[in-house]
Amino acid sequence: MDLSTTYMGLKLRNPIVVASSGLTKTADQIKKCEQAGAGAVVMKSLFEEQIRGEASVIEQTDMMHTEALDYVRAEIDMLYGPHEYVDTIREAKRNLSIPVIASVNCYTSKWWTGYAEQIEAAGADALELNTYVYPYDMEKGSYAIENIYFDILKSVLDHVNIPVSLKVSPYFTSFGNFAEKLDQLGADGLVLFNRFIQPDIDIKSLTSSVKPMFDDPISYTHALRWVALLSGKLNLDIVASGNIRTAEDVVKQLLVGASAIQIASVLYQKGLGVIQDLIDGLQQWMKDENFSSIDQFRGQLNEINDPHSNAFIRSQFIKTITNIE
């Protein structure tokens, strides 16, 4: 039975990808993911702040003379450059046979994009841009927010030849239009969706904090809906991410057109053995349904191929609310 899939032109032995997380920080951890059965691994993100540093002079680069700017950049290379990150890529690629996808968590197109070349030179098979721009600024309209993503993508594509994907949130005024523009700009993949760390309040100490969320059903349905609506319409590959916990969840995302599946939260809770559970469950379902390869059923229920595709938009809402059968 053929469980292989293609994502951004990369051949994966199966569609289970370990998402960027603390589980993919070191070469040894990445090797364990491969041994557990993963089809590919996304490395723990290199954060833009780690490269940009905190020096106030960095925020004033527009006022600098070119030579001064070059000097400051050289200093940043020494102090904040992703040398350990690049070394991890090299070590992982020496010891792994599955694709290794680097990840940068970014929110501007300044400073760090040149490091994308180092990531490529180190042997990364692809680069995932985990772009984190929360739309809280009342001075910025939707176009201004979207343009940040477009600028980041264009800057990176100018620096590298490896495939580039974006992992984004669903917080856009017109997500379909936004995704289409990313496709037109040359993105190779789109990961739906990343999740922001959620805030919490301690009512005794009257303090705020943040906490990770390991169980978020809404994120799963968001991905299911948008994978179904976009797959088959865009040239780029789409990966589903968010609260995917069972083989049934994997099958559903493939049916609506996902090229691969990213998981992390369930691995934190249950361990790397979950990867093989998902693979075994997928294989059993394919056997039961007489499918010998993923390509035979992928996208069968997306908006293009499903005669009942209105379930992903307004008609399903009307039926549910008005109890119409």
The token duo for 280 is 């075994």
For tokens 């997500």, the residue is 175
- Give the model's pLDDT for residue 37: 98
Q: Cα separation of 127 and 102, whole Å?
A: 5
Secondary structure element (H or E) that encloses residue 50, with its range: helix 48-52
- Residue 164, SS3 per DSSP: strand
DSSP string computed for 281-304: HHHHHHHHTT-SBGGGTTTTTSTT
User: Consecutive 10-residue runs of the chain (325 residues): their mean pLDDT?
Assistant: 97 98 95 98 80 46 46 46 84 96 80 78 96 81 92 93 95 94 98 82 85 69 94 96 95 98 95 98 98 97 79 58 54
Q: Cα separation of 101 and 267, whole Å?
A: 18
The token duo for 68 is 């001064």
Q: Cα separation of 56 and 314, whole Å?
A: 49
Contact 170, 192 (CB under 8 A): yes
**What confidence tens digit (pLDDT) does each residue in 32-47 have?**
999 999 999 999 988 7
> Residue 91 sits in which domain range?
5-322
Contact 300, 311 (CB under 8 A): no
* Cβ neighbours for 321, distance < 8 A, ≥ 6 positions apart: none
Q: From its phi and psi, is residue 111 left (phi > 0), alpha (psi between -120 and 50) or beta?
A: left
- Residue 75, SS3 per DSSP: helix
Say what angle helices 142-157 and 175-185 make with each other, to 10 degrees: 20
Q: Does the predicted model carry a pTM greater than 0.95?
A: no
- Give the model's pLDDT for residue 195: 74
- The torsion angles phi and psi of 206, rounded to 5 degrees, stand at 55, 50
The token duo for 320 is 């549910």
- Residue 111, SS3 per DSSP: coil
- Give the model's pLDDT for residue 200: 83
* CATH number (domain holding residue 237): 3.20.20.70
* Structural domain count of the chain: 1
